[in-house]
Amino acid sequence: MTKTFVLLPMLAATLLAHAAGDFTTIRRTSTSLSDSTPRLLINFTLPSNVNVSSSTSNSAVLDLEVLGSEFNFNEVYINPPTTVCTSNDTDANQTRSIGILQEHDDTSLKTEWATNHIAFSSGFLVAGTNQLMVCVRSFTGAAGPSVGNLDNISLRSVVLHYHTQ
């Protein structure tokens, strides 16, 4: 009986240690996006032993805090094929999208920072230099500085959790 009680905590500790993986802080300071700055590009570096498997057990997670996201089409990309934000219906970067920022159009939430937690395939990552891109769009999903009326948001505390081999 004693062996069972000892093995279970050891097994749980091993699984938790594996689940934690590694992380890198991509951005700590606040950055605002709007009509005048419709896109955020951040380069970050991952080690040579980053696990780029597409298996679910090796998923990566991006955590970021967002303030003021009211529209449904503000999107996040990892290593996009272009660095141009295009409209949602003609999105040239869709193959590298990891998700949409949560909208908070409720009056009481508009002035509060909201944590976005996006799990995605580690297959989007590469060893060495990577790029994170965030595009803000209009209420209809239009993009670009000439569109006007793009969502006004702020981002901070961008952290990437990933596995190594």
Q: What is the pLDDT of residue 62?
A: 98
At residue 75, does pLDDT exceed 50? yes
pTM for this entry: 0.85
For the stretch 57-66, pLDDT in tens is 889 999 999 9
Per-residue model confidence as pLDDT tens digits over 36-52: 999 999 999 999 999 99
Q: Comparing C-alpha atoms, which of 134, 121, 133 is closest to residue 50?
A: 121
In the prediction, which pLDDT does 12 show?
A: 43
- CA-based end-to-end distance of the chain: 35
Evaluate if residue 6 carries a pLDDT over 50: no
The CATH number that domain 22-162 falls under is: 2.60.120
The answer on pLDDT for 20 being more than 80 is no
Range of lowest pLDDT (8-12, 30-34, 72-76, 89-93): 8-12
